[in-house]
């Protein structure tokens, strides 16, 4: 996964240099029914909200997402549109919640303290996502560098998750832990000009379901993702 993320970073920063974003080159024929920004690729730094007592993040917790959004203009100027699409996302969270599996197949949760040494403790997931957006932009049929504000909802299905630990208590990996919520949904906002666009994704539900508890209290953490998103015609 670390190697994959490195290649993703290279791709994201090379994209603007080679102009895979929209360019200011007028087409030979003006398309009065043009659409905008139907492919996207993004990189985020993953934070969490509603932290339990003693929780902390360590290292870099990264996310990657890409997909296709069908752009559907709703006015004559075509600067307002609705978008609905399909995408893929992967996220990792380096933090100090230890997740161990019992003999009965259930999971225990505890918070690692400073006296407990570990070199790796993270959980990660992979999702199929459905973005739904309301889109405003200053584009025209012949201008491809423009301001944009896209806001909406993103619904994700977690089809794969992992937990990895390496430290004083040994080394182990859990796959598809049942205590993670299968569905994630949240609000999104993308704002920017031309190639560079800031992106925010604020999850409205918890990473874990009601089975995940620390000291009898539910782990009600949610995801907050901040980063960059690149759009391609």
Please check whether residue 29 lies inside any domain of the structure.
no
Q: Is residue 180 part of a domain?
A: yes
pLDDT band at 29 (very low <50, low <70, confident <90, very high): low
CATH number, domain containing residue 70: 2.40.128
Structure confidence at residue 209 (pLDDT): 95
Q: What is the DSSP track for the chain?
A: -HHHHHHHHHHHHHHHHHT-S--S---SS--TT-----EEEEEEEEEEESPPTT--B-S--EEEEEEEEEEEE-STTS-EEEEEEEEEEEEEEEBSEEEEE-TTS-EEEEE--TTS-EEEEEEEEEEEEEEEEEEEE---SS----EEEEEEEEEEEEEEEEEEEEETTEEEEEES-TTB-SEEEEEEEEEEETTEEEEEEEESS-SB-TT-EETTEE---EEEEEEEEEEE-
State yes or no: pLDDT of 65 exceeds 70.
yes
Tell me the average pLDDT across 6-10.
49
**Which of 120, 133, 145, 143 is CA-nearest to residue 199?**
133
Number of domains in the chain: 1
Of 180, 183, 179, 187, which Cα lies nearest the Cα of 225?
Answer: 187
pLDDT interval class at 39 (50, 70, 90):
very high
Domain for residue 28, yes or no? no
Is 133 among the domain residues? yes
Q: In which band, very low, low, confident or very high, does the pLDDT at 196 lie, cut at 50, 70 and 90?
A: confident
What the block records as the tokens of 84 is 């609905």
The average pLDDT across 94-102 equals: 95
Look up the domain containing 183 and give its range.
Answer: 2-19+35-232
215 lies in some domain: yes
- Identify whether 184 is part of a domain: yes
pTM of the full predicted structure? 0.85
- The two three-digit tokens of residue 15, written as one number: 């994209």
Q: How far apart are CA 187 and CA 224, in angstroms?
A: 10
């Amino acid at each position: 996964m670390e190697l994959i993320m490195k290649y993703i970073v290279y791709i994201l920063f090379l994209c603007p240099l080679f102009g895979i974003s929209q360019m200011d080159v007028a087409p030979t024929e003006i398309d009065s029914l043009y659409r905008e920004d139907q492919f996207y690729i993004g990189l985020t730094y993953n934070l969490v909200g509603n932290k339990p007592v003693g929780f902390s993040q360590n290292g870099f917790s990264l996310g990657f997402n890409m997909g296709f959004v069908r752009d559907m203009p709703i006015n004559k100027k075509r600067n307002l549109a609705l978008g609905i699409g399909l995408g893929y996302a992967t996220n990792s969270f380096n933090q100090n919640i230890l997740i161990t599996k019992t003999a009965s197949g259930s999971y225990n949760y505890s918070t690692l303290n400073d006296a407990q040494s570990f070199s790796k403790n993270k959980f990660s997931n992979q999702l199929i996502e459905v973005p739904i957006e309301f889109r405003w932009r200053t584009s025209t049929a012949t201008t491809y560098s423009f301001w944009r504000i896209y806001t909406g909802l993103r619904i994700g299905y977690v089809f794969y998750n992992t937990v990895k630990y390496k430290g004083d208590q040994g080394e182990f990996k859990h796959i598809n832990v049942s205590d993670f919520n299968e569905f994630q949904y949240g609000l999104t906002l993308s704002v920017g000009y031309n190639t560079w666009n800031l992106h925010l994704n604020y999850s409205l539900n918890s990473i874990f379901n009601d089975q995940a508890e620390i000291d009898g209290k539910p782990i009600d953490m949610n995801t907050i993702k901040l980063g960059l998103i690149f759009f391609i015609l």
